Amino acid sequence: MTNTIARSHLPTPHGGVLINRVQKFDGDLSTLPKIELSERNFADLELIATGVYSPLTGFMGEKDYLNVVENMRLDSGLPWSVPITLGVSQEVADQLSGLVVLTHGGEAVGTLNITEKYAARKEWEAGHVYKTTEEAHPGVAALYAQGDINLAGEVTLFELNRGQFANHHYTPAETREIFETRGWKTVVAFQTRNPIHRAHEYLHKVALELVDGLFLNPLVGATKSDDVPADTRMEAYEKLLEHYYPKTRVLLGVYPAAMRYAGPREAILHAISRRNYGCTHFIVGRDHAGVGSYYGTYDAQEIFGAYNPEELGLTILKFEHTFYCQTCGQMVSPRTCPHDSKHHLILSGTRVRGMLRAGENLPREFTRPEVAEILRAAYNAQE
């Protein structure tokens, strides 16, 4: 089951075809064994089924798993950086074979046709993918919480649930159609799990000088408990786009993945996903998909050197840290500003949260006042 992409200026999907595994099940589900999916597994199911993770048609088998962890490639040689697996306990695995029902919140959401079972090498995987085996890392903790046996096989998703952001929840087939309808031959994607501040806006608008359209694609799946909730972020994005962006050149669409915090490896996965959405360019800034101090500031940019540019099928736009310089009177980066740090307005996430809790105004040079008000209201509601 694939969607063949018509002749287009947009990049072909990763692997050549856009996967579509969304399909109703006509048989009797009651007689089939069931597997309850975690939030991450459920997100992965949708991303596989709608083609965001093309060319994957299901959870990875052992050959793909081993090659991805060690070599950042599928067994076919195609670039891929993060294992997409479904882990269960040995006891559960022993009871399963063939077709099983996938459930989420107790509801049947899809099927998995089990063709392989194999042992997860969790510590080895953590060391390669996350560059640490410490359970303090949220991605490593989630990995260790999975079962010890990975189940592999093709999946189906019964129905796409667009959730609370239905007006902004698009499949890759839909975004490609929108880009084509708008006449965008070049599209830059931006990944974020945080509210957009002026530094992000600067990156967007520099990129928009180079391409036809911006696909603002915030991650809205599971994140750390101290990350800003998705509904607050989406409200901020909508307000910002309403007042400060050219409406005909921006599309806001959610990325329903769970956050893995895999830093450089996750940056590659994010780029591949955006190629499948139809994007020709992808912005990678400082510490993309990072957490704590596990990764170097620009590791997520340097890792793309592991592939030839044509292998990934889109252009990576690498930006340095940007900030407001009070002497220059504008957003700058180390490449464009001659002044030292005492001239720069840079607020840490901790400082921003402290100001919001105290009811203080965030500087206009840091974030737009409309966004600051949305964030302040959200923090006050939590108190």
Residues carrying an active site annotation: 193-194
Instruction: List, in sequence order, every residue forming a beta bridge with 112; answer none if it has no partner.
Output: 100, 155
Contact 186, 161 (CB under 8 A): no
Helix ranges restricted to H, the chain: 39-49, 62-71, 90-94, 122-129, 138-145, 172-181, 198-208, 230-244, 264-277, 299-302, 309-312, 349-357, 369-382
Token digits for 140? 């490593």
- CB neighbours of residue 132 within 10 Å: 16
- CB neighbours of residue 357 within 10 Å: 13
Which burial class, exposed, middle or buried, applies to 340 when counting CB atoms under 10 A from its CB (0-12, 13-18, 19+)?
Answer: exposed
Contact 64, 70 (CB under 8 A): no
Q: What is the DSSP letter of 33?
A: -
Q: Which residues contact 354 (CB under 8 A, 6 or more apart)?
A: none
Question: Which own/partner pairs from 7-12 qualify as long-range (CB within 8 Å, at least 24 positions apart)?
Answer: 8/176, 8/180, 9/185, 9/186, 10/176, 10/179, 10/180, 10/185, 10/187, 10/278, 10/279, 10/280, 11/275, 11/278, 11/279, 11/280, 11/313, 11/314, 12/313
- CB neighbours of residue 145 within 10 Å: 12
